[in-house]
A and B are shown apart, each in its own frame.
Chain A
Amino acid sequence: MTDTTLSAPPLLTVDGTPLKTRLRHIERLNQFKSLLLILPLIAFLVLTFLAPIAAMLVRSVDNPEVAPVLPKTVAAIQQWNKKSLPGEEAYAALASDLTAAKEDPSQLAEAAKRLNMEIPGFRSLVQKTARNLPMETEPESYKTALVELDERWGDPAYWHAIERNASTSTPFYLLSSLDMSVNDEGEIAKAEPDKAIYLEVFARTFWISAVVTVVCLFLGFPLAYLLATLPTRQSNLLMILVLLPFWTSVLVRVAAWIVLLQSGGLINGALETVGLIDEPLELVFNRTGVYISMVHILLPYMILPIYSVMKGISPSYMRAAISLGCHPIRSFWKVYFPQCIAGVAAGALLVFILCIGYYITPALLGGPKDQMVSYFVAFYTNTTINWGMATALGALLLLATVVLYAIYNRLVGANNLKLG
């Protein structure tokens, strides 16, 4: 085949500009116009969605408490060899910083609280030292004087803690969320076993989400198939039943589950009356309750994407496979199911992502061992007001979501995402 178009001159419009330039110009104009139309939406999204996420990510590494309160100390320990105790000038700087900080007690308290996260008891040390400053007579050596005041100032660990907070950003919260910390040698190390709880919480979160996703898939797939293949009237009725849970608030449904599942509740009562069980089953305030109600709440998110994909699959594919000699069940697996993959993946992804951020259901229907990451986010935001930990846990959840989406994208392709 010969290619004659290669040597052809570029096409021109009537006024002499190349056709391509002209087309591009018109296209850009159209793009600009459509951009203007969605400008309010973009502004809304930036303000309510992107900005808070960015703020959260910043806050998870933000460390504003210590460095501004102890500026001279921070500067002085830059030269410290980090093995023995720091030199006299560091002690002098600390004394001077603490004296100055007494002007603003709330800021000092914040810094003390932050240091207390590093070593328990650091808060009282800071407060006690500040109370005794300035000294009546300028001591010969602040080092001796402070160690005399409290011998903990003679322990390098406390100086390491200050040094770790010398910068206004810190990996502390993110590492803590993964049960890790920076040790005195400046290396990342595993946290002590009694402080290490978050990896378990993350594992639990992913496990619960995986179980809920799998159960939803097993319950939702046949239902979606039914919806897609039943005659219109029956399938419409079924669809209403599927969507019904969407119209009730999650809280109401959780409360209803408590009524149904508790030891004197309807289900246990019925089972006992029938004689299937002798004593009530533990169905609520444990993992079972969490599973039951989360599956119930999330099932529509699994069904709808699968249904929408199945709806588009012509029944003639199955007929073709069967007419070619394939057993109906095998035809379903070989021909029908592969065409549903996009829907199944979308449903599973949706349910899993919604799951890992779930809060209210485990909080109300689970026991202490069933709480997921979001519970701790809420705990740090509402109870201890520890924004660092709350945002670090949130950032890790966000990361998990992004990673999942990336995997999904590699396997199925985002273009095939079918969400109802």
Chain B
Amino acid sequence: MTSQTLAKAPSFSFRSMFMRDAEPGLKTSGNEESLSPDAPAADSDTLVSFRQVQKSYDGDSLVVKNLNLEIRRGEFLTMLGPSGSGKTTSLMMLAGFEVPTSGEIRLDGKLLNNVPPHKRNIGMVFQNYALFPHLTIFENVAFPLKVRNEGFREIRYQVDKALEMVQLDKFAQRYPAQLSGGQQQRVALARALVFKPQLVLMDEPLGALDKQLREHMQMEIKHIHQQLGVTVVYVTHDQSEALTMSDRVAVFNNGIIQQIDKPEVLYERPANSFVANFIGENNRLTGKLLSRDGEQCVVEMPYGEKVIASAINVGEIGDPVSLSIRPERVVLNDAALSVQNRFNGQIREFIYLGDHVRIRMEVCGTHDFIIKMPTSQFDSRLREGDVVPLGWAAEYAHALDPV
């Protein structure tokens, strides 16, 4: 399956086909319905806002602790986090299938707390696709239009367009059980988009697919998002999926958003140790804060070595600090002479991975300090057991909260 059709299709036609102008009724800032009348007026760029939302199922523990989140119109926002961190719960509150214990959720400025889910006009894609097994693909995609009492010809036209968009127009008369997992997920996508919702929610839609298909579908979803300009809130616990697809990623843990930003910022400037460890690979060194000077600080290692690092999330002088250094930011031998932090390390192991080599070293008391080096720059004279100089720039050593 190729995305040729997608590439050739003029994007403006899809946009006009699938983007409904924001309904005037939804545009009102809805002051009279507002829980707190003095709530700041919604930014016209903001489509969804969570304000101090909390959720508890059992009354003992909060699954969502204090969710404040603004989702911009037309953006692809991903909620990323480990299992049980409250992503699905947040999404379900937005869709209306769970009720927030406190706080307010707004869609296009309109308070959602008392709007039943079937009136929210939010498309949803589920992990198990949730295609209705007793209906054909055509009837499945036509379902939201039939519910809205669209005319027969209009339905036919829209469904054909939607199926064409996901390249499944030939399968219209089949039943869901006769399609592969990837095809079913595309039908689910078409069904969630065909009624032109301004917001589409996806809860781990690719979780059931194998790796190759998943990567293919990631691109396809991303292209469709770009063409339609629809706002997407996407849930996953696969970090590479989040980094590939999203405009912004909200990293969840323990019911709290740890950091929300563009993928490259999350990777290059993690706000705390959780984000640093959860996203990408990471060398962690623990020490004590020795001094601090604005953006920079000095951290003392257990054996007395000092590391100059950028102070992102540190406490008082003398507090424990966790240093995070990305493996690809560490340099060896001559290159190490020009960086602020210089040490000696002993090579323990080489792992050859084709495009790059991973070198496991013993540095500053840790035995599994990893260095990643493109194969082209790898010095083949290095041997296991060699002691070599290595180092990293202060800006690439992030001083964060201790784990």
Contacts and interface: CB of A to CB of B under 8 A. Distances in A.
Interface of A: 314, 316-317, 319-328, 330-331, 334-335, 338-339
Contact of A325 (B97, B126, B132, B144): B144
Smallest CB-CB A-B distances: 7 pairs? A320-B130, A324-B144, A323-B124, A316-B130, A338-B134, A326-B147, A322-B118
A338 to B, nearest CB: 4
Contact of B148 (A320, A325, A338): A325
Given A323-B201, A328-B118, 7 more contacts: A319-B130, A322-B97, A323-B118, A323-B120, A324-B124, A324-B191, A325-B147
Contacts of B121: 325
A328 B201 CA distance: 19
Interface in B90-142: 95, 97, 116-124, 126, 128, 130, 132-134
B267 interface: no
Contacts of B117: 319, 322-323
Contacts of B97: 319, 322
A320 B188 CA distance: 10
A317 B140 CA distance: 11
B147 A324 contact: yes
Contacts of B116: 328
A16 B75 CA distance: 64
A163 B169 CA distance: 73
15 contacts: A314-B130, A316-B130, A317-B130, A320-B132, A321-B143, A322-B118, A323-B118, A323-B120, A323-B192, A325-B121, A325-B144, A325-B195, A326-B144, A331-B118, A339-B133
Contact of A317 (B119, B122, B132, B191): B132
A324 B134 contact: no
Contacts of A317: 130, 132
Given A314-B128, A316-B128, A323 B122 contact: yes
Contacts of A324: 123-124, 143-144, 147, 191-192, 195
Contacts of A334: 143
Interface size class, chain B: 20 to 34
Contacts of B143: 321, 324, 326, 334
Nearest to B118: A322
A108 B201 CA distance: 88
A51 to B, nearest CB: 42
Nearest to B134: A338
B124 A320 contact: yes
B130 to A, nearest CB: 4
B118 A316 contact: no
A413 to B, nearest CB: 13
Greatest chain B CB density within 10 A among A324, A326, A334 is at A324
Contacts of A326: 118, 143-144, 147
A323 B132 CA distance: 13
